[in-house]
Amino acid sequence: MPLAVESLTVLRGECPVVDRVSWTARPGEVLALLGPNGAGKSTLLRAILGLIPSTGKVSLEGRDLRTMDPRERARRVAYVPQRSQLAAGLTGMDVVAQGRFAHQGPLARLSAVDRQAIDAALERTDATAFATRPFTQLSAGEQQRVLLARALATGAGTILLDEPTAALDVGHAMAFIFLIRELAAAGQTIVSVLHDLDEVHRAADQAVLLHRGRLVAAGTPAQVLVPEVTRPVFGVTLVAGAAWGVV
């Protein structure tokens, strides 16, 4: 069943920073959230998860996601923020292990299944070398790979990502694109904020373009990333080619 967002609105004071946005992300697809800085992309993700107040409806498998039991929601939806707020002296392994808490009973120790999921997630994101290192001493890109591993360790069918490639080097950014395509091919639902238009075309099945909190266009990348749609939003004419550029 899809993740459906219907007329989602977030107010800052009396000003809507997300204004009646609706879209649907389906299993087996990658949906890219696009738009300039301040368009409301990160706010939208946080509202979907119930981290900030909003109105409208967010449903997963036909159920209201924001009123779902928090542990069940954590098993069904994983989130990779744009920046980590973790400040405690946790190792990379400790951070990834957080992704298994929703599968455990109160005061339960990590099971063999939990440890297997953690090890597999670290390996899949090329983050095994960070397992014993303090998370706060990792670079921004290294932290991002650990946070992605935490999301994979949950086993959630839906993953929300906020600019996941922003701090990654070229090699790991390309590996990330391959990874989310693999996850989608396995039936997971992926929603990701992306800025690199080449990444959008390589990774996304659907694209949602936001501007000043409102939905401007939705469809395939080929339908959304056309000059008549993007020029009023970005203020430049985007040119497709081996690498995207502006004129």
Domains in the chain: boundaries? 3-246
9-48 pLDDT tens trace: 999 988 999 999 999 999 999 999 999 999 999 999 999 9
Residue 33 near residue 210, CB atoms below 8 Å: yes
Rg of the Cα trace of the chain? Answer: 18
73-109 pLDDT tens trace: 999 999 999 888 887 789 999 999 999 988 876 557 8
Adjacent-strand bridge partners of 246: 238
Does the structural domain 3-246 have CATH classification 3.40.50.300? yes
Instruction: Indicate the pTM of the whole model.
Output: 0.91
The packing angle between helices 170-185 and 140-153, to 10°, is: 10
Summarize the confidence of residues 217-241 as an average pLDDT.
86
Distance CA 60, CA 181 (A): 21
CB-side exposure of 9: number of CA atoms within 13 Å?
A: 10
Q: What order do you get walking across the sheet with 15-25 strand by strand?
A: 15-25, 3-12, 55-60, 63-64
Taking the CB of residue 78, how many other CB atoms lie within 10 A of it?
24
What is the predicted pLDDT for the residue at 243?
47
What is the predicted pLDDT for the residue at 7?
97
- Structure tokens, 78: 């994983």
37-64 pLDDT tens trace: 999 999 999 999 999 999 999 999 889 9
